[in-house]
Structure 1
Amino acid sequence: MKHRSPLAAAVAAITLLAAPALAETAPPAITVTGEATVSVPPDLAQVDGGVSSEAKTAREASEANNAAMGKVLLALKAANIQEKDIQTSRLSLQPQYAPNRAGPSAVVGYRASNRVTIKVRDVGKVAGVIDTLVGAGANEIGGIHFMVSQASKLLDEAREKAVADARRKAEIYARAAGVTLGAPLSISEEGNAPPAPYRRMAAGMVAAAPVAQGEETLSVTVSVSWAIKQAQ
């Protein structure tokens, strides 16, 4: 008859004590996602625009661009756009090359660009701001991005609706499975992509184009796990 050493006996005892803990599983639950949306008209807009200038030398291109952009900024100020609502978004100075497939291309000039992002606090004035830009000499008009300033408060309403939607779905599954819902075990909110900006348009196309603001749709998606118990 073999005898176990005290160390082996201790290891065996620990293993037996740990076995029930290892055998434990997560409590039974139903996990579903809830969704909700809130649609509201935007009350803010961002317009991207600026000036590009070309010249034979880098200095000439920069000077021409600075002068042209100065006129644009003065026009925006005259249109009652506050300085705090105008922010430089891009400055660039790049060489321009002659087409040459046989070897290295020669530099034939330079292109300077200065672009700004303008915050428009009255969305009804977006078309007027674009006309001001183009009329002052802006030859680059980028996207128009409509936004909602109080999005967080509006999303709170959607969050409540999303949790209610999750409960509705969970109750359907519970009835079908012959169980009842208990308390929620976990609630997590999934990331939501921001609204996409309008597509880029050439300055000549925008000057006389109407701008439709439409509505912004704010959405929330939550994942909720509900404890379940057997129906009595």
Structure 2
Amino acid sequence: MAEVVTKGVGRVERTADRAEVQASFETVGSTRDEAVERLTARIAAVEPALGRSGVEVRSRQLNVHDNWDGKRRSGSRAAQNYVLRVDDPAELDGLLGALVTAEPTWLNGPTWQLKEDAEAVREAQREAVRDARRRAEGYAQALGVRLGPLLRLTDGDAEGWAVESSHRMLAAGYGGSPGVPPQVDQLNLEAQQITVTVRCTASWTLLD
């Protein structure tokens, strides 16, 4: 029994509805206690912003260590690292404005995501199978035969979520629109498109 094996690709675009932001605040002091005390004062203005509706603190990590100049201790450093999830994109500008105003050591984001991808994956799967069938029908026509029933279907190398232009670096600043520093206000922080890609491999019977 003759058969043909084809590969299919299905791609579906959806608008992201979740963003992730990472921020870090660091302070130095002559002792560990002094570095931590300064850090506590610095993030005091940050913590209230993390209680906004639609904002979830995924990780809050403290790091304290001594600085060394060769074999000589030269003060201490304290850092608080945050991983934040924003489930309401409308809250993103306000959150970033509050973080920037607090002068983070670094601020990374937003990285765009989908809350749920099941429906998009199913649609991409259907398109992948249709693509594989179209290819098989083309080969059958080229051979002057008919395409028979499906024999096997294998899930191919899925690419998962491919996010374009979703990663931005922000720097601290002041002034501008009320509650939003100018650097944040002027950036395009609209939710990005996310492409869900599914690949499959199908084997089909060829009929005379």
Shorter-chain TM-score bucket reads 0.7 to 0.9
What's the CA shift for 1:130?
0.4
Q: What is the Cα-based RMSD across aligned positions, in Å?
A: 2.4
Task: For 1:214, give the aligned amino acid.
Answer: Q
User: Counterpart of 2:57?
Assistant: 86
Change (3 A) 1:105 1:48: same
Deviates more, 1:105-114 or 1:217-226: 105-114
Secondary structure of the equivalent of 1:203?
Answer: coil
TM-score by length of 1: 0.73
Paired residues of 2:7 and 2:199 also in contact (CA < 8 A): yes
Deviates more, 1:134-143 or 1:220-229: 134-143
Q: Distance in 1 between matches of 2:111 and 2:45?
A: 24
Query: How many residue pairs align between the two structures?
Result: 196
Q: Distance in 2 between matches of 1:81 and 1:154?
A: 23
Paired residues of 2:17 and 2:191 also in contact (CA < 8 A): no
Structure 1: give runs of 5+ residues left out of the alignment: 1-26, 99-103
User: Counterpart of 1:183?
Assistant: 149
Q: Distance in 2 between matches of 1:206 and 1:113?
A: 24
Paired residues of 1:57 and 1:109 also in contact (CA < 8 A): yes
Paired residues of 1:32 and 1:223 also in contact (CA < 8 A): yes
Change (3 A) 1:153 1:57: same
Q: Which of the pair is proportionally richer in helix?
A: 1
Q: 2:68 aligns with which of 97, 101, 125?
A: 97
TM-score by length of 2: 0.81
Paired residues of 1:86 and 1:117 also in contact (CA < 8 A): yes
Paired residues of 1:185 and 1:225 also in contact (CA < 8 A): yes
Query: Quick check: 1:46 aligned with 2:13?
Result: no
What's the CA shift for 1:168?
0.1
Q: Which of the pair is proportionally richer in strand?
A: 2
Change (3 A) 1:188 1:202: farther
